[in-house]
């Protein structure tokens, strides 16, 4: 028995799992070309009844080979690996970020939700409308909390925050959109992942020439507005995902400071402090030049599209979501939107990251 076949059998006896599919993928990818066909055939025969979305790329390659079409195997491995990461995962599944102590991420599944604020919702601003159905085609990992002071110091070697906390477990603040992008690239580098941002200083921006290049990046990055709101709502359609005083630090229950993370209730997908504590930077540009509703570009927001929307037109401000310790009840909602220039730093703004 070949070494590759023995390793594959070891995975197969454990039953179907994302980890197992990835292990098999790596064995197939590293095997000799002369052995690949035999190994793929063996896997195909011994995984009947397992997830079809994972098996489909493999079967396609296998059938072509049986017909004598000697196609490359790279595409199968790429597709299979992508399916394996998503197949079988459940919303809220938790994973540790190995390179930073105490940093955890939660799995956010692909799906469809109602984004924005309806005409009849209490406290709504014009720039939160219209409420529309949006689909995110990719699942992604999101940090369980905003980046904390200790995590920021670990990666950046800096302590820019204004509010001092004994264990440095409050959200970092006094960080700009540019700072968040640099942090994302440094964390990606630590994990051996590609960088999601290019450039330096005020010229830093998302990779690629199209929005899809950025959202498809395999490295750490800022969430799009749609990703942020979808993750915040976690299947709910109400302004908040729970009783506000139980889930958020905001104007009515704080002493004018940030608070340590994970002290309020998480949402259904295990995410803490999505509302209140600090406002969180998103990737998207703001669709207005100011706060006057007359200046708001309603068409830009309405015409984003209903699938994986992201707005990066030539407007200087960047979107923030969630509200902070200083925001009132009208501003600490899943649909609330605000913005600031990407270079601004103050004690109400932080961030959390996502990755595929």
SS3 38: helix
Could you tell me the maximum CA-CA distance found in the chain, to the nearest angstrom? Answer: 73
111 beta partners: 136
Model pTM?
A: 0.75
SS3 9: helix
- Which range, 92-96, 144-148, 213-217, has the best average confidence (pLDDT)? 144-148
Beta strands 140-143; 104-108: pairing state: antiparallel
Beta strands 104-108; 279-285: pairing state: unpaired
SS3 217: coil
Please write the tens of the pLDDT for every residue from 320-356: 999 999 999 999 999 999 989 999 999 999 999 999 9
More confident residue, 15 or 126: 126
Of the candidates 20, 9, 92, 80, the one whose C-alpha atom is nearest the C-alpha of residue 45 is 9
Domain borders along the chain are 3-86, 94-355
Of the candidates 285, 356, 269, 272, the one whose C-alpha atom is nearest the C-alpha of residue 320 is 285
What's the confidence (pLDDT) of residue 19? 62
- Give the CATH class of 94-355: alpha beta
Q: Tell me: pLDDT of 1 over 80.
A: no
For residues 292-297, average pLDDT: 54
| Residue 17 near residue 47, CB atoms below 8 Å | no
Please write the tens of the pLDDT for every residue from 20-77: 666 777 777 677 777 877 887 787 777 765 655 555 656 566 666 666 665 555 555 5
Of the candidates 243, 234, 211, 242, the one whose C-alpha atom is nearest the C-alpha of residue 313 is 211
What's the confidence (pLDDT) of residue 148? 97
Distance of CA 234 to the CA centre of its chain: 13
Q: Tell me: pLDDT of 79 over 50.
A: yes
Q: Tell me: pLDDT of 163 over 80.
A: yes
């Amino acid at each position: 028995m070949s070494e590759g076949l023995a390793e594959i059998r070891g995975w197969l006896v454990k039953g179907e799992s994302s980890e197992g599919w990835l292990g098999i993928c790596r064995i197939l990818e590293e095997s000799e070309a002369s052995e690949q066909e035999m190994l793929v055939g063996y896997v195909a025969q011994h995984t009947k009844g397992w997830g079809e979305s994972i098996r489909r790329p493999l079967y396609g390659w296998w059938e072509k080979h049986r017909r004598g079409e000697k196609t490359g195997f790279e595409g199968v491995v790429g597709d299979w690996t992508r399916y394996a990461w998503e197949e079988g995962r459940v919303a809220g599944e938790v994973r540790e970020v190995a390179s930073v102590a105490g940093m955890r991420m939660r799995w956010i599944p692909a799906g469809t939700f109602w984004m924005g604020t309806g005409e009849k919702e209490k406290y709504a601003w014009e720039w939160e409308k219209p409420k529309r159905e949006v689909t995110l085609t990719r699942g992604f990992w999101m940090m369980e909390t905003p980046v904390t002071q200790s995590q920021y110091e670990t990666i950046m070697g800096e302590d820019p925050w204004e509010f001092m906390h004994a264990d440095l477990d409050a959200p970092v603040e006094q960080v700009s959109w540019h700072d968040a992008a640099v942090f994302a690239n440094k964390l990606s580098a630590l994990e051996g992942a590609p960088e999601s941002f290019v450039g330096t200083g005020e010229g830093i921006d998302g990779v690629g020439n199209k929005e899809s290049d950025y959202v498809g990046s395999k490295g750490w990055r800022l969430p799009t507005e749609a990703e942020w709101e979808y993750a915040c709502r976690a299947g709910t359609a109400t302004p908040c995902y729970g009783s506000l005083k139980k889930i958020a630090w905001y104007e009515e229950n704080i002493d004018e400071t940030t608070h340590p993370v994970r002290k309020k209730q998480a949402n259904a997908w295990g995410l803490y402090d999505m509302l209140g504590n600090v406002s969180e930077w998103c990737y998207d540009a703001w669709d207005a030049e100011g706060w006057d509703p007359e200046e708001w570009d309603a068409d830009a927001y309405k015409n984003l599209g209903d699938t994986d929307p992201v707005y990066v037109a030539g407007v200087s401000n960047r979107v923030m979501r969630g509200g902070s310790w200083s925001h009132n009840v009208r501003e600490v909602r899943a649909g609330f939107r605000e913005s600031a220039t990407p270079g601004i730093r103050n004690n109400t703004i932080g961030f959390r990251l996502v990755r595929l």
